[in-house]
Amino acid sequence: MAHFVLVHGAWHGAWCWQRVVAALAGRGHRVHAVTLTGLGDRAHLLSPLITLETHIADVMQTLVAEELEDVVLAVHSYAGMLGTAVADRMPERLRHLVYVDAVVPKPGESWSSTHASATREARLAAAQGSADFSFPPPDPAVFGLQAADHAWVKRRQTPHPGHTYQAPLQFDPARVAAIPRTFVDCVRPPLGTIDVIRQRVRDPRFWEGAWVGGGGARVTELATGHDPMISDVENLVKVLLAAAEDA
């Protein structure tokens, strides 16, 4: 039995992992899907007080409260910031870190650092114009979702806490890289805000060479959009199970 902790990205909640949770639990594994403060079923807690550190604590506290070790930690999109922080601060708890079409920062970068200036400006303007300093979700069509899946995600997405967007993260790349890592590159269609990241994880110089060292890193492409936990459950589950099998 393996232990999986699944962390959603911006605008989502634990709900987005429902199909993956069912598939993994059905194979006898222990699975926890985290909802970050202010999102999903915790949207009633949305406030300007939520920061990047709030969300890092959400994930770390799940590991502590559930007494989890040897964990496969899968982080989606924005939550790549959180997974990187947890790997830096609690490496002894992790077996494998899976970045699901996720942000992989350099030390000192924020989630917004690799985004186009127009994207940054639009999100910050929206946050500043809101009562709770949040910015609204995009149309799920940008994630490659259609029909019932598109409708399901559209009605469940919620605004994202704005103070998580430009907060820098300091970490030791060598410590994070000591943990085996997989980057899941969702290429059909590719999400533009991940373009810089998909180039980084193929660059042997990334993290001054640490990315390809330590516990080792691999890149797996899925012919689906940015929400593979919805649009390509079978293949994403295969990736997660392969991560759990790593020695």
pLDDT at residue number 247 = 52
Q: What's the CA gap between 26 and 12, in Å, rounded?
A: 23
Tens digit of each residue's pLDDT (9 = 90 or more) over 155-191: 999 999 999 999 999 999 999 999 999 999 999 999 9
Residue 125: CATH number of its domain: 3.40.50.1820
Q: Which of 47, 77, 112, 130 is catalytic?
A: 77
Tens digit of each residue's pLDDT (9 = 90 or more) over 121-157: 999 999 999 999 999 999 999 999 999 999 999 999 9
**Number of domain units in the chain:** 1
Range of the domain at 145: 3-245
Return the structure tokens found at 153: 């995600």
The verdict on whether 110 is a catalytic residue reads no
Tens digit of each residue's pLDDT (9 = 90 or more) over 26-58: 999 999 999 999 999 999 999 999 999 999 999
Neighbours of 92 (CB within 10 A): 8
CB-CB contact of 215 with 175 (8 Å): no
Q: pTM for the full model?
A: 0.98
